Amino acid sequence: MNLLETFKLALRNIAASKMRTFLTMLGIIIGVMAVIVIVGLGNGMETYMRDSFASLGTNSLSVVIMGRGSTRSVSVDEMYEIVDENPDCLQYLSPSVTLSPSVHIGTKNYTATTKTGVSEDFFAMKGYEIAQGRGLQYMDIADRKNVCVVGNYVNQMYFANQAVGQTLRIGSLKLTIVGVMEQQADDMEEGGTDDCVYLPYSTAAQFARMGSITNYTVTVTSEEQAAEGKKVLTDALYGIFHDEDAYLVVSMAEMLDILTSVIGIVITVLAIIAGISLLVGGIGIMNIMLVSVTERTREIGIRKALGAKESVILRQFVLEAATTSALGGALGIILGYALCRVATVVVSALTDAALTVVPAPASVLMAVGISVGIGILFGYLPAKKAARLNPIDALRYE
Amino acid sequence: MSALIEFRDVCKYYVMGDTTVKAADHINLKIEKGEFVAIVGQSGSGKSTCMNIIGCLDVPTSGEYYLDGQNVGQMHKDQLAEIRNRMLGFIFQQYNLLPKLDLLENVEVPLMYAGVSRTERRQRATEALERVGLGDKLRHKPTELSGGQQQRVSIARALVGKPFVILADEPTGALDSRTGREVLAMLQQLHKEGNTIVLITHDNSIAAQAERIIRLEDGRVVYDGDAHAPEATVHPKEGGAV
Ligand SMILES: Nc1ncnc2c1ncn2[C@@H]1O[C@H](COP(=O)(O)OP(=O)(O)OP(=O)(O)O)[C@@H](O)[C@H]1O
Ligand SMILES: [Mg+2]
């Protein structure tokens, strides 16, 4: 009796009691489904975060200067010096001055637009291209010119694609638009990446009456240099302040790594909890197989009397358990995929984050492997019991 | 030529607490190829025990059992399974068909365990069922048949593997007398065709259909000889016909 015939027999026995088989499989179905959705959710979150961080630039370091009271601060020139002295790892520097008054265009008021004072290197740092007009230049910074570059959203929505040469106001600060950035996001929206105004940091700092600049963005030559760049900056700032609490250097790559590993841990824990349901499912299979062996004692006796060896009976029952479990696994995968789609829609609707729940092929493979494995593992004991039955006792069984 | 079946001092003891039941007590017997033997005796005399040992479903506590010259007593379970499959055909009182399988599949079971190919299996099972007159019911389930028909299926299943010995334990026990006679006639026919048949019964009139009778009492052989000799049916100890 070959494997294929044994398998067919297993399928027949399973088909003979569909409801029972389905209930037996339920634990496996739910377990596999949960593992797939949870791992998929984790994948989605990780991708979403990577994308978000990529737009911030994983090769950039963020520097915040808190200072030590009024005794000592750091000037923009000193910051430039630090960057210039370490060309191996540090590349560009841009102070970052965020303005809070809203943008006025004509008689209208726009609060969502971001307004940031930056250096002439800022666009190169971010990889932003200028679509119309020009970018900010060194002279704009040096002379604190009242100029700005706007995002394409501002250009399209407020200036009908005719922004260059027009003026806008940030509070009482009147700026002439000299350039328009290339569109960044696929879909522009209010408050998005394309709804922005960039002006010289010197102009912004003066307008905000800011004595010294506290926020900087520094880029490293490559992502691998992030750790080294962070160290260099930290050391240099320590040399100035002699106080670790006076400044803060944050590496975006590092943040991403930390967040990714946190998500990884959370997902692993959740997946293990979901995996426990697989275990429970396995015990369910064992239970029903034990019942099945008892019910079929006479059949086993007859088969043995007719010449079935122990190994054949063992194989029959193990295969039946494994098939039940694998069927459960397959159903779990189908439902898991379906639920991933539902979850994508639900999560997007609830959080308006464009998060896609993607089932990971590896987790699917693992789920199948585990469910078949559980079938074999938990089917083995009942199958062994069946195989060991004494033929005379089994024949006599009512 | 050695006997097909040979028991040498075969014993089977069941220990139940303090008492030991001697279900088979130093049984010696020989059955030659082509014989039709009936093993008779009262209930509890050890007939089924004897048949289980002949059928390699059980092993003796002591003594030796040779089947076709091989010492079966010392064999491993898997070897016994193989011997049951190739050398023995069983007919049970309760038919013991597999209810989920149709007749054809039921008869195919021994061939399947023997590793016979699918097409040959089909063909041989069909032939066997035709022989017992059920060629028109190949795809029926056992539960759709009468008791006599079910017993004929089990005869077909017993002979499909061309066994050395056909063992029948009370094959007519669950049948009315007319169907019982049909089944017996079928066994007679198989015997005429050269099959060795061991029939177990407590009914003397059925035993009389055989050539030879072995009478058991408390696990011992008390008569072994011609089925038609006067001592065969009436034993002094019983004080009359059973
Ligand atoms: N598994 C067992 N455990 C204990 N005692 C047993 C067992 N099987 C049989 N016996 C005992 O062995 C003796 C012979 O039993 P056996 O079944 O061979 O009798 P039998 O001649 O077939 O009877 P019947 O005509 O009722 O079928 C009986 O006394 C029975 O109680
Ligand atoms: Mg009996």
HSE-up of A158 (CA within 13 Å, CB side)? 30
Q: What sections of chain B are H helices per DSSP?
A: 47-54, 77-87, 103-113, 118-131, 147-159, 177-192, 204-207, 230-233
Tell me whether strands A173-181 and A147-150 are parallel, antiparallel or unpaired: parallel
Closest-CA residue, ligand 1 atom 11, reads B23
Long-range contacts, A6-14 (Cβ 8 Å, 24+)? A6/A312, A6/A315, A6/A316, A6/A319, A7/A319, A7/A323, A9/A316, A9/A320, A10/A316, A10/A319, A10/A320, A10/A323, A11/A323, A12/B100, A13/A292, A13/A320, A13/B100, A14/A320, A14/A323, A14/A324, A14/A327
Residue B238 in domain:
no
- Residue B173, in any domain of the structure: yes
Q: Quick one: which atom of ligand 1 is closest to the CA of B12?
A: 12
Q: Does B58 touch chain A (CB under 8 A)?
A: yes
Which residues on neighbouring strands pair with residue A115, listed in sequence order? A197
Q: How far, in Å, is the centroid of ligand 2 from the Cα of B201?
A: 8
Q: Would you call B62 helix, strand, or coil by DSSP? A: strand
Residue B239, domain member (yes or no): no
* The pairing of beta strand A173-181 with beta strand A247-251: unpaired
Q: Are A88 and A220 in contact (CB under 8 A)?
A: no
> Cβ(A133)–Cβ(A180) under 8 Å?
yes
Smallest CA–CA distance from A5 into chain B, residue: B112
Residue A375 C-alpha, separation from nearest chain B C-alpha, in angstroms: 24
Q: Which of B52, B84, B115 sits opposite A306 (nearest CB)?
A: B84
Sign of the Cα torsion B77, B78, B81, B83 reads negative
- Ligand in closest contact with the CA of B49: 1
**Residue-level pLDDT at A46:** 85
Distances (CA, A) of B114 to A1, A209, B49, B170: 7, 98, 26, 26
Residue A181 phi, psi dihedral angles, 5° rounding? -80, 155
Residue from the list B81, B98, B157 with its beta carbon closest to the beta carbon of A309: B81
Q: What is the mean pLDDT of residues B22-43?
A: 94
For residue B180, the domain's CATH number is 3.40.50.300
Mutate which of B11, B14, B204 for ligand 1 pocket (most atoms within 8 A of beta carbon): B14
Model confidence at B241, pLDDT cuts 50, 70, 90, reads very low
The answer as to whether B29 is a domain residue is yes
Given this model, what pLDDT does residue B218 score? Answer: 93
Nearest CA to ligand 1 atom 16: B46
| CB A120, CB A132: distance < 8 Å | no
pLDDT tens, residue by residue, B89-115: 999 988 999 998 999 999 999 999 999
Say if the Cβ atoms of B115 and A1 lie within 8 Å: yes
Q: Report DSSP state, residue A136.
A: -
- Which ligand 1 atom sits nearest the alpha carbon of residue B52? 18
* Distance in Å, CA B13 to ligand 1 centroid: 10
Task: For residue B81, give the nearest of A299, A302, A307 by CB distance.
Answer: A307
End-to-end CA distance of chain A: 27
Confirm whether B79 is domain-assigned. Answer: yes
| Residues from chain B contacting residue A4 (CB–CB below 8 Å) | none
Tell which residue, B242, B90, B105, has the closest CA to residue A392. B90
Count of CB atoms within 10 A of residue A221's CB? Answer: 17
- Around ligand 1, the residues with Cβ closer than 6 Å are B 14, 16, 21, 23, 41, 43-49, 202
Strand pairing class (B36-41; B212-217): parallel
Write down the H helix ranges in chain A.
3-16, 18-56, 76-85, 122-126, 138-142, 152-159, 201-207, 226-241, 252-295, 297-305, 310-351, 361-388, 391-396
Q: In this structure, is residue B164 part of a structural domain?
A: yes
Count of CB contacts below 8 A, A vs B? 58
pLDDT at position A71: 65
* Containing structural domain, residue B106: 5-232
Mutating to test ligand 1, I would choose from B11, B13, B42, B48 the residue with most ligand atoms within 8 A of its C-beta, which is B48
| Token pair for B222 | 């008390």
Give Cβ neighbours of residue A32 (< 8 Å, ≥ 6 apart).
A278, A328, A329, A331, A332, A333, A336, A367, A368, A370, A371
Interface residue ranges in chain A relative to chain B, Cβ cutoff 8 Å: 1, 5, 12-13, 16, 298-299, 301-312, 391-392, 395
pLDDT per residue rounded down to tens, chain A (398 residues): 678 888 888 888 888 888 988 998 998 899 899 989 988 988 888 888 877 777 667 788 889 888 766 567 788 888 898 889 988 889 999 999 999 899 999 888 998 899 999 999 999 888 889 999 999 999 999 999 999 999 999 999 999 999 999 999 999 999 999 999 998 887 788 888 889 999 999 999 999 988 788 899 998 888 788 888 889 989 998 888 888 888 889 888 788 888 888 888 988 898 888 888 888 888 888 888 899 889 989 999 999 999 999 999 999 999 999 888 889 999 999 999 999 999 988 888 887 677 888 888 888 888 888 888 888 888 899 999 889 988 888 888 87
Pick the range with the lowest mean pLDDT from A31-45, A57-71, B70-84, B139-153.
Answer: A57-71
Q: Are A326 and A375 in contact (CB under 8 A)?
A: yes
How many domains does one find in chain B?
1
Buried residues in B177-187 as b, exposed as e (16+ CB within 10 A): eebbebbbebb
Nearest CA to ligand 1 atom 1: B14
Identify which of B201, B188, B121 has the alpha carbon closest to the alpha carbon of residue B161: B121
Cβ distance A308 to B81 less than 8 Å, yes or no, reads yes
| Beta-carbon separation of A307 and B84 below 8 A | yes
DSSP string, B90-129: EE-TT----TTS-HHHHHHHHHHHTT--HHHHHHHHHHHH
Q: Is the pLDDT of residue B232 over 80?
A: no
Asked if residues B242 and B217 have their Cβ atoms less than 8 Å apart, the reply is no
pLDDT of residue B239: 43
pLDDT at B1 (0 to 100): 55
Query: Would you say residue B74 lies in a domain?
Result: yes
A132: its two tokens: 């119309």
Q: If you measure CA to CA, which chain A residue comes closest to B105?
A: A9
Q: Do the Cβ atoms of A307 and B77 come within 8 Å? A: no
- Pairwise CB contact (< 8 Å): A307 & B113: yes
Q: Which of A1, A12, A302 sits opposite B96 (nearest CB)?
A: A302
Beta-carbon separation of A305 and B90 below 8 A: yes
Percent of the residues in chain B that have a pLDDT greater than 90, as a whole number: 76
pLDDT confidence of residue B240: 43
Any domain includes B242: no
